[in-house]
Amino acid sequence: MASMGAGYLDVEPLVRQVKYGGYVNKLLQNICASEGLSKLGVKADLQQRIIDKLQHYVKTKNTPAYQRLKSMIEHPSTILPQAGMASASSSVAGTPVPPSPYLGLNGPYNTGGGASGFRPLGHPRIEFKSSPYFDIQEQIGNPSACEVMTQHRHTVKMIIRPQDYPILSKASSDETLRVMVFCAGETAGRQDISFPHQSEIKVNGGEVKANLRGLKNKPGSTRPVDITKELRFNPQAYSNSVEMTYALTNKKFYLIIYVVKAVLVADLVQKLSTGKRISEAAVLEDMRSKARDTDIVATASALSLKCPLSTLRIDLPCRSIACRHNQCFDATSYLQLQEQGPTWLCPICNNPAPFEHLAVDEYVQNILKQTSKSIDQVIIQPDGKWELNARKKDNPQPSRPSDGVASDSDDDLVEITKSGDNVRMGTPRVAPSLPTNGTPSHQSREQSSSSSVPARDSLGSTSGKRPISAVIDLTSSGDEEDEPIARQPKRQFTGNGYGAPSASTPVYRPPPPPSLTYPSR
């Protein structure tokens, strides 16, 4: 209630409603006219005049006038349009008029759709939740009702002629003015943008590529559909058709077209940089109070200087004034993400973080200014002091002992020999029996290979090092380690036609393998 106690009038809720209630210029102009204020100027001027009038009534304790203005702000249907007073019978401006229940929250008051200031009966006035990315300037036409369609498809159609709305001629040359399609499933209260689950929008016969569903299970994450580029502003009498085809709905929807003034992300970042701030003293005091708490063991913690959204170094650190953590995110990255799908949740704690609650953290901002761009993390002490996070350097490898005995961390020696020879793997050590000048001959390598097993055993017993279990042969398979199979020698063909050696022709026979003896004839 606005009245609390004896003569106390709470004006703050009404101030917030005037600023962030989503009222269009036409409504604000009629409130000003009802209070005898000027209707000229932009939206901010109209809002400020109404707020000043509220504060004047509170200061002078003019309760009846305050209640009258409060009623007009909360229930715009009680305002009679100033343009229709001459034909409004004997009603007096400012006299409350009971709203029609068929018209929803706000009565048959036009919000900028026509020059007469009236809207035909049966068209509800729908208010959408405010967004920092656009400011509604004017409504184009009347809302189109999308009736319930549980089984069939249905199409609603709206016609837009630039000559009927002078603001459209400005939209053709002003890039910040955009024509957008809104949709809502209710009429009471401020609504989220919500299209039917199965729907599509066409402008002049061409389909508009847009996401009409938003994020899954995230109400309010749907954006209005921008149709500015699809509209034809010349000739002025051209009839642009806007159609929405939908199906399988269980409730009624309302389709509305607005001209809005778009706000760039860069402008929002600039506004945020000069807006609310979380002072460094407040952050330090919060840290020290937590450190003094006997129930909490305060230890040093790491503070990342990278944005959790873009993984890049933070440029403008911000967080919600309701967040209890010190970690920040980058303002540009956060606002770009919300522009695509507005959820307004903190990426760190997942708590609500709307634009009006965002603030720049001066503590983290000072850390960013005092560190180079290559630093991505610092250590925060419980008392608020911070230091660079020194990365752990790898321990150097231990040097090789000078007495010839290798340590356990040394690599094994691999000797690569010709094909057919075994590969020896062992721990290097100084052995006087090994030749030191030049590469050993093939025969010496064969001898060393045949005696590798006992040599390894003797080395392993004297050095105290863990023994190598077996010699690994990388060039031969396991079958080649067995005894070679003896083959019968081939007999030489003598050419006598019988295959038997003749007495006059000597027969060549290959020498037998060393391990076999040729059988006597």
Q: All domains of the chain, ordered by start, with CATH?
A: 1-103 (no CATH), 126-262 (2.60.120.780), 267-388 (3.30.40.10)
SS3 sequence, 341-380? CCCCECCCCCCECCHHHEEEEHHHHHHHHHCCCCCCEEEE
* pLDDT score of 356: 93
Dump pLDDT digits (tens) for 47-78: 888 988 888 888 888 888 888 888 888 877 66
Residue 102 has pLDDT above 60, yes or no: no
The pTM of this model reads 0.54
The helix/strand/coil state of 156 is: strand
Amino acid at 152: H
Contacts with 292 (C-beta within 8 Å, 6 or more apart), sequence order? none
Residue 296 has pLDDT above 80, yes or no: no
Amino acid at 454: P
Residues in the chain: 521
Averaged over 160-169, what is the pLDDT? Answer: 91
Dump pLDDT digits (tens) for 323-380: 999 999 999 999 999 999 999 999 999 999 999 999 999 999 999 999 999 999 999 9
- What is the Cα–Cα distance from 468 to 170, expressed in whole angstroms? 87
Nearest CA to 251 out of 196, 183, 192, 191 is that of: 196
Residue 150 has pLDDT above 50, yes or no: yes
Triad 324, 330, 333: Cα angle to 5°: 125
Q: What is the dihedral of CA 166, 170, 172, 174, to 10 degrees?
A: -160
Residue 253 has pLDDT above 90, yes or no: yes
* pLDDT score of 405: 46
Lowest-pLDDT choice from 31-35, 128-132, 343-347, 453-457 = 453-457
* pLDDT score of 505: 53
Triad 388, 392, 393: Cα angle to 5°: 125
Cα 418 → chain centroid = 60
Residue 491 has pLDDT above 90, yes or no: no
The helix/strand/coil state of 78 is: helix
Instruction: Give Cα separations from 508 to 490, 493, 499 (angstroms).
Output: 10, 10, 14
* Residue 65 contacts residue 85 (beta carbons within 8 Å): no
Triad 64, 66, 70: Cα angle to 5°: 120
pLDDT over 90 for what percent of the chain? Answer: 40
Contacts with 59 (C-beta within 8 Å, 6 or more apart), sequence order? none
Contacts with 426 (C-beta within 8 Å, 6 or more apart), sequence order? 412, 413, 456, 459, 468
- What is the Cα–Cα distance from 184 to 20, expressed in whole angstroms? 18
Dump pLDDT digits (tens) for 192-205: 999 999 999 999 99
User: For strand 358-361 and strand 317-320, is the pairing parallel, antiparallel, or unpaired?
Assistant: antiparallel
pLDDT higher for 411 or 49?
49
Q: What is the dihedral of CA 99, 104, 107, 110, to 10 degrees?
A: 180
Query: Could you tell me the two tokens for 390?
Result: 């020194």
Tell me which long-range contacts 402-408 makes (C-beta under 8 A, separation of at least 24). 404/429, 404/430, 405/429, 405/463, 405/465, 406/465, 408/465, 408/466
SS3 sequence, 435-463? CCCCCCCHHHHHHHHHCHHHHHHHHHHHH
* pLDDT score of 92: 34
* Residue 64 contacts residue 5 (beta carbons within 8 Å): no
* pLDDT score of 94: 36
Contacts with 361 (C-beta within 8 Å, 6 or more apart), sequence order? 277, 278, 283, 317, 318, 319, 326, 328
Phi, psi for residue 209 in degrees, rounded to 5 = -80, 110
